[in-house]
């Protein structure tokens, strides 16, 4: 089975409010926090949206809860689902599928995060390693879904955008008026959710997308105004390891995004260390990328009120130990 056709329009405030009720019935809102040491480091008033503090350690859980709620409400008879992930989306699907009594298969690339894999298995998913990157895993997931006759859960869909957009609604309502917000881009649901909430609330906040310079597909696509695929070589930012952009997401970004800032693995590692030093929070690569971009643009942001999304904290212990010690991770 295939999901219903996606819609091009962003969710309305009514839809985001409805999604919030679904999400908050299961998990509480996450905090938006200002940290004095981080303010000092950046030279601005910095508000952090702590999506690393959800029950699965990342923002994606919101999308899964809403997706499976809407799937159940649609009346479709689904006994099993298949999806592909680098980890956080898979945990979201695992948690939500279990709540609905649905079996879940999650396909990950070979060499994926050991601890993210363990977390998915703990949620009851059948984990399959296939391919060398997310794109290969996604293609295998589609083949498996067809073979088993199971429902293929995509990584980008209007229901997912509605779900993850609830973090942005919390952020804009919980923090003072923000001049600029930095958001990581994986496949696009998180940043599209931020854009949706901004527009639904009628705000003028500038939204900046952040990608890995070693997974530059969205940056190249944004510059070209059309989808451009690019190799993925990032060692640290697996949550942004996208080889090919989602056309529906790119259309939204081209119309609504201020700019895209690429950051290197070395800059992400420095941001992970800064977040730990200044806030004692753990950030995975994608979660620290907004700070890396903000530090690159700190002169332009000096004295302003800026937001950043700490999208997740699911980094393997040995990787984080090497980041904190400044040990070379084998990438630029």
Mention every residue, 6+ apart, whose C-beta is less than 8 A from residue 57: 88, 91, 119, 312, 313, 314
Supply 289's token pair. 């990328």
Q: How much of the chain, in percent, has pLDDT values that exceed 70?
A: 96
Mean pLDDT of 244-266: 97
Supply 226's token pair. 């059309």
Which pLDDT score, from 0 to 100, does residue 8 have?
57
Residue 13 clears pLDDT 70, i.e. is over it? yes
Q: How far apart are CA 199 and CA 305, in angstroms?
A: 19
Mention every residue, 6+ apart, whose C-beta is less than 8 A from residue 30: 49, 50, 51, 53, 54, 167, 170
Cβ proximity of 196 and 16 under 8 Å = yes
DSSP bridge pairs for 182 = 208, 308
Mean pLDDT of 178-185: 98
Which pLDDT score, from 0 to 100, does residue 4 have?
39
Mean pLDDT of 53-76: 95
Confidence of residue 331 (pLDDT cuts 50, 70, 90): low
Confidence of residue 87 (pLDDT cuts 50, 70, 90): confident
Question: Is CATH 3.40.50.1100 the right assignment for the domain spanning 13-58+158-325?
Answer: yes
Confidence of residue 252 (pLDDT cuts 50, 70, 90): very high
Most confident by average pLDDT, 46-55, 70-79, 80-89:
46-55
What pTM was estimated for this model as a whole?
0.94
Q: Considering only residues 87 and 69, tell me which one the structure prediction assigns the higher pLDDT.
A: 69
Range of weakest confidence among 6-20, 29-43, 206-220, 278-292: 6-20
Q: How far apart are CA 218 and CA 240, in angstroms?
A: 10
Cβ proximity of 314 and 286 under 8 Å = no
Q: Considering only residues 87 and 131, tell me which one the structure prediction assigns the higher pLDDT.
A: 131
Residue 164 clears pLDDT 50, i.e. is over it? yes
The domain locations on the chain are: 13-58+158-325, 61-152
Which pLDDT score, from 0 to 100, does residue 143 have?
94
Supply 2's token pair. 């295939």
Q: What's the chain's average pLDDT?
A: 94
Q: How far apart are CA 81 and CA 303, in angstroms?
A: 48
Q: How far apart are CA 90 and CA 113, in angstroms?
A: 12
Range of weakest confidence among 2-16, 151-165, 172-186, 269-283: 2-16
* Residue in 268, 223, 267 with CA at minimum distance from that of residue 245: 223
- Domain 13-58+158-325 identical in fold to domain 61-152: yes
Cβ proximity of 283 and 315 under 8 Å = yes
Question: Is CATH 3.40.50.720 the right assignment for the domain spanning 61-152?
Answer: no
């Amino acid at each position: 089975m295939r999901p219903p056709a996606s819609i091009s329009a962003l969710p309305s405030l009514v839809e985001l409010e409805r999604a919030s009720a679904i999400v908050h019935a299961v998990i509480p809102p996450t905090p938006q926090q200002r940290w004095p040491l981080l303010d000092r480091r950046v030279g601005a008033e910095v508000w952090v949206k702590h999506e690393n503090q959800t029950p699965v350690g990342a923002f994606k859980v919101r999308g899964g809860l809403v997706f499976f709620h809407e799937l159940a409400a649609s009346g479709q008879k689904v006994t099993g689902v298949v999806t592909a992930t680098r980890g956080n989306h898979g945990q979201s699907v695992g948690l939500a599928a279990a709540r609905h009594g649905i079996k879940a298969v999650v396909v990950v690339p070979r060499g994926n995060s050991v601890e993210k894999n363990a977390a998915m298995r703990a949620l009851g998913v059948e984990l399959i390693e296939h391919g060398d990157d997310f794109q290969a895993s996604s293609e295998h997931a589609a083949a498996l879904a067809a073979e088993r006759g199971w429902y293929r859960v995509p990584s980008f869909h209007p229901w997912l955008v509605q779900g993850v957009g609830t973090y942005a609604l919390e952020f804009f309502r919980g923090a003072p008026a923000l001049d600029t917000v930095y958001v990581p881009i994986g496949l696009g649901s998180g940043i599209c959710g931020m854009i949706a909430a901004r527009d639904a609330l009628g705000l003028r906040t500038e939204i900046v997308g952040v990608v890995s310079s070693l997974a530059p597909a969205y940056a190249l696509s944004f510059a070209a105004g059309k989808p451009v695929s690019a190799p993925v070589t990032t060692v640290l930012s697996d949550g942004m390891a996208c080889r090919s952009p989602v056309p529906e997401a790119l259309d939204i970004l081209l119309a609504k995004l201020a700019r895209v800032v690429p950051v290197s693995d070395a800059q992400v590692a420095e941001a992970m260390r800064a977040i730990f030093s200044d806030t004692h929070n753990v950030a995975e690569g994608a979660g620290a990328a907004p700070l890396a971009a903000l530090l690159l643009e700190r002169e332009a942001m000096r004295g302003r009120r800026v937001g950043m999304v700490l999208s997740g904290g699911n980094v393997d212990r040995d990787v984080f130990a090497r980041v904190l010690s400044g040990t070379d991770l084998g990438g630029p």
